Amino acid sequence: MKTATIGDLLETGSIHVGVTASDKADLLQQLIRSFGGRDGVGDLRAVSDAVLEREAMLSTGVGDGIALPHAKTPAVTKTLAAFATTSAPIAYDSFDNKPVRLVFMLIGPPSASREHVRILGRISRLLQREPIRQQLIAARTPAEIVTILQAAEENIPSQ
């Protein structure tokens, strides 16, 4: 089965440029709210609970200014994503103790575990590249974000 591309998972309304958040919890809630009304989301409160429960287990701040919050929940019927750049670095309890500027949130049903892991791996490989991170931080519109991610994704092997 072909793994969905990052572009397949993002909608313009789920891409946020220059987010201002008071803290990690505020940042996560802003991204979670962007799933409201999206096709495949049955219960936004349950999505929030799943994301926060997963985050409480172990921070999804993976280093280099990147956070990959994610959760699997029966509250959604398909895999969806949201993405944000922040206007300023936000403390996130990351593995490297550095604040984040790039946040990619992934939610999906429990039945999509394999796809979930593949997508997280793809976005992780993309965001490990310093030039891509810098381009994303400099982007000013959701359309720019999509263009940058699609171009970068074309240059990594699919899984």
The residues that are catalytic are: 70
Q: What is the C-alpha separation between 60 and 138, in angstroms, rounded? A: 23
CB of 94 closer than 8 Å to CB of 100: yes
For residue 148, which of 137, 159, 158 has the smallest C-alpha distance?
A: 137
- Neighbouring CB atoms inside 10 A of 99's CB total 17
For residue 27, which of 79, 103, 81 has the smallest C-alpha distance?
A: 103
Q: Would you call 37 helix, strand, or coil by DSSP?
A: coil
Q: List, in order, residues 6 or more apart from 83 with CB less than 8 Å away.
A: 10, 14, 15, 16, 102, 103, 104, 105, 145, 149
Helix axes 142-154, 130-138, angle to 10 degrees: 160
